[in-house]
Structure 1
Amino acid sequence: MNSPHYCKQVRLSGRRMPGRCARAALTRQLEELGLSDSADSCVRERADEALLVLSELVTNASRHAGGPVRLTTHWSGNRLTIEIEDNSDGLPSITPAEKRGQHGGYGMGLVDAFSDSWGVRPATQSHRPKCVYAQLSFPSPRKADQHAEDDFVTAS
């Protein structure tokens, strides 16, 4: 796995399908980093979780905040930060289980479950828009021979 430090941004406002655009951008980045096609299944699984978190953040902005404005991703070491900006002053929250249902309420709970941390940088007079972010750490990929050792059980 490469470990460069970079920040990438994609404008989402005005896009007909911002979710599709955001997922395509993150998919490319995960491929460039060798995460989505890693030999280590734990790394590949974490890449899938990052895409799920992104999808939930974009959907939340679309349903509750007038639509996403911009996707920004930061990669440093083994940590990915996903940021979605929107123009709403409303703050996302986790919907209690008893209020979730057929029409939603699961999104921020999934973000909370699959990310290491998440939060909001509220909009201020000097800084618009608001930013909802999630951070995900990726495991160090194991070598192929390490997988075999981990799966080998010695009988005593």
Structure 2
Amino acid sequence: MSTTRPQLPDDRPEQGGSGVDDGAGPAAAVGRRTRRLTLVGASGVVPMARDFAREALREWGWTPAEGADRKAAAEDVLLVVSELVTNACLHAEGPEEVLVSTDGKTLRIEVSDLGSGEPAPRTPHRAGRPGGHGMFIVQRLSIDWGVLRVPGVPGKRVWAEVAAPA
């Protein structure tokens, strides 16, 4: 599913920043843990974003994973992070920020960029064809995903949510 909404019901406007947010912001007050990584001007952003997400997963108890379901869930998150950041690199002049947050039931990944394009799975999807699989992968691994835009502000945030392992 792909949706374009200005704001989801549980979203709160967030202040800009750099580095890592350990959940001390407004989301922490309602039990949501959040980490933020600024990527403006950085090189090697895809592995940097994966390492950042891997550290968040470790901190939040998703890894080291015990059992196949937990390991698969953690790998799904890392793949979704890679695909969203790669998409921003290829189609939007690079990502500006990666935000990961969890409420214990889902993990949300957001990648912001200044692009005006609308990400969508390529249709028809042809598995044997090289390239163009990123948003199809995100769609398959996520319980929901979409695009957030703020009227009058350039760019967007592409988000995806992955279910926590049982």
Number of the residue aligned with 2:129: 101
User: Counterpart in 1 of 2:108?
Assistant: 81
**Which amino acid is the alignment partner of residue 86 of structure 1?**
D
Which runs of no fewer than 5 residues in structure 2 stay unpaired? 1-30
Are 1:59 and 2:90 counterparts?
Answer: no
**What per-residue deviation string (whole Å, max 9, x for no partner) do you get for residues 5-53 of structure 1?**
2111100111111111110100001111221213232011100010001
RMSD: 1.7
8 Å CA contact 1:13, 1:68 repeated in 2: yes
Match of 1:15 in 2: 42
Aligned 8 A contact 1:31 1:37 in 2: yes
Length-normalised TM-score, structure 1 = 0.81
- Rate the CA distance shift 1:113–1:69 in 2: closer, same or farther, 3 A: same
Counterpart of 2:64 in structure 1 is: 37
Q: Does structure 2 conserve the Cα–Cα contact (< 8 Å) formed by 1:70 and 1:86?
A: yes
User: How many pairs were matched up?
Assistant: 135
Aligned to 1:122: 149
**Runs of 4+, deviation exceeding 4 Å:** none
- Please tell me whether the aligned partners of residues 89 and 122 of structure 1 are also in contact (alpha carbons under 8 angstroms): no
Gaps of 5+ in 1: 141-156
Note closer, same or farther for the CA distance 1:98–1:39 as it changes in structure 2 (3 Å cut): closer
Aligned to 1:90: 117
Which structure is higher in helix share? Answer: 1
Q: What does 1:111-150 align with in structure 2 at a 5 Å threshold?
A: 111-125=138-152, 127-140=153-166
In structure 2, do the counterparts of structure 1 residues 14 and 39 end up closer, same or farther at CA, with 3 Å as the change threshold?
Answer: same
Structure number, greater radius of gyration: 1
Q: Decide whether aligned partners of structure 1 residues 5 and 122 sit closer, same or farther in structure 2, where only a CA change above 3 A counts.
A: closer
